[in-house]
A and B are shown apart, each in its own frame.
Chain A
Amino acid sequence: MSPVRFADVSVGDELPTLTITMTATLIAAGAIATRDFMPVHHDRDYAARQGAPDIFMNILSDTGYCSRFLTDWAGPDAMVTRLAIRLGVPAFPGHTVVYTGAVAGLSTERGVGVVDIAFRAATDLGDHVSGTATLTLPLDG
């Protein structure tokens, strides 16, 4: 991890792409780590009875991956203060989910640098999630 310095960030800077090849293991692991025991996230037979082709990623995992995408770039001194996502197509095993984003705004307030980011996570079927986030960075970092 090579943290960014607020002074070096510009509007339009692109975050490093995060690519996740989704597997049943990742989906089940994310669901249980977030304490979400809904069977559609670990039981393929149950998912099929609900009309889904397979188990699919839960929303708490979506927000988990979003925060990883942000701090993989921004580093350990970043504080995520806002995350707003719109939920799109589900992510199933075998799908590749590609997180891309860019800096949409910069400001300073109360002694920290504020970075606004617009991002999306796309699969072959369309956007899995899209949204905006805000994180803060130390000004002297």
Chain B
Amino acid sequence: MKGEHDVGDETLDEQLQALIGQPVGRGGPSVAPDPVNQPMIRHWAAAFADDNPVYVDPDAAGHSRFGQIVAPPLMLQTWTMPTPVLEGIAERGGSPVETEGETALSVLDRAGYTATLATNSEFEILRYLHVGEVVSSSTVFESISEEKQTRMGRGRFVTWVTTYTVEADEVVGRQTFRILKFDPTGTAA
């Protein structure tokens, strides 16, 4: 039994290592459905009661270091979020759009690591965005850990890096996101 597990682990490890550097999800880069715009910025600032005037006040922003209205830096991830298909979103487990077929994470699901817990989010902001800019993002797997025993059960940490660009492929920021894929029953292969 232990021997079978060892062989299984090697095969799984090989499958997982082959994912490193590969895109997360399909269909290439995500392009923001709308350019950076004042209404979405105002909506965001109101949601968090963030009264930083460089986000909404042209005069104050013009006299600031930025010289014009800028988007909140941590809105970076928001711009490329897909326009959701709300019908059926609960049945899809919260996925905002229809997804078909195999995703890289399916490999982990099949190996018994069916549960997901987000553990870390890290942003590097190279510059703030201006109204009218169109953001694109592309995400690749950075690392998948060996199996670890965690508080949640046996699991593997999966890290992906999203690179955000604007026109002419200028990189404006990066996000590193880590999840724990774990076996809620404690019996992952």
Which A residues fall within an 8 A CB radius of B?
1, 26, 29-30, 32-40, 43, 46, 59-68, 71-72, 76-77, 79-87, 138, 141
A26 to B49, CA, bound (A): 10
B86 touches A33 (CB 8 A): no
CB contacts under 8 Å to A, within B75-105, are 75, 77-78, 81, 84, 86, 89-90, 94, 96
Chain A residues closer than 8 Å to B73, beta-carbon distance: 67, 79-80
A64 touches B48 (CB 8 A): yes
Chain A residues closer than 8 Å to B51, beta-carbon distance: 1
The segment out of B2-10, B19-27, B122-130, B161-169 that lies at the interface is: B122-130
Give the B interface residue count (CB, 8 A). Answer: 40
Chain A residues closer than 8 Å to B15, beta-carbon distance: none
Q: Give the contacting residue for B90; candidates A39, A71, A79; CB below 8 A.
A: A39
| 3 cross-chain pairs, A with B, having the tightest CB-CB distances, nearest first | A33-B47, A35-B81, A84-B122
Assuming the contacts A61-B47, A138-B65, asked whether A85 and B72 have C-beta atoms less than 8 A apart, the reply is no
The segment out of B52-60, B132-140, B141-149 that lies at the interface is: B52-60
Which B residues fall within an 8 A CB radius of A?
40, 43-44, 46-54, 60-61, 64-66, 72-75, 77-78, 81, 84, 86, 89-90, 94, 96, 118-126, 128
Beta-carbon nearest neighbor of B47 in chain A: A33
Q: Give the contacting residue for A82; candidates B64, B75, B123; CB below 8 A.
A: B123
B49 touches A76 (CB 8 A): no
With contacts defined as CB atoms under 8 Å apart, how many contacts are there between chain A and chain B in the complex?
A: 116
Beta-carbon nearest neighbor of B82 in chain A: A35
B95 to chain A minimum Cβ distance, whole angstroms, is 9
B43 touches A66 (CB 8 A): no
Beta-carbon nearest neighbor of A28 in chain B: B47
Q: Give the contacting residue for B119; candidates A36, A40, A86; CB below 8 A.
A: A86
A85 to chain B minimum Cβ distance, whole angstroms, is 6
A29 to B85, CA, bound (A): 19
B65 touches A77 (CB 8 A): yes
Chain A residues closer than 8 Å to B125, beta-carbon distance: 79-83
A88 to B43, CA, bound (A): 27
Beta-carbon nearest neighbor of A62 in chain B: B121
B42 to chain A minimum Cβ distance, whole angstroms, is 10
Chain A residues closer than 8 Å to B124, beta-carbon distance: 81-82
- A sample of 13 cross-chain residue pairs with beta-carbon separation below 8 angstroms, ordered by A number, consists of A33-B44, A34-B81, A35-B78, A35-B84, A64-B74, A67-B72, A67-B73, A76-B53, A81-B124, A84-B122, A85-B122, A87-B118, A138-B65
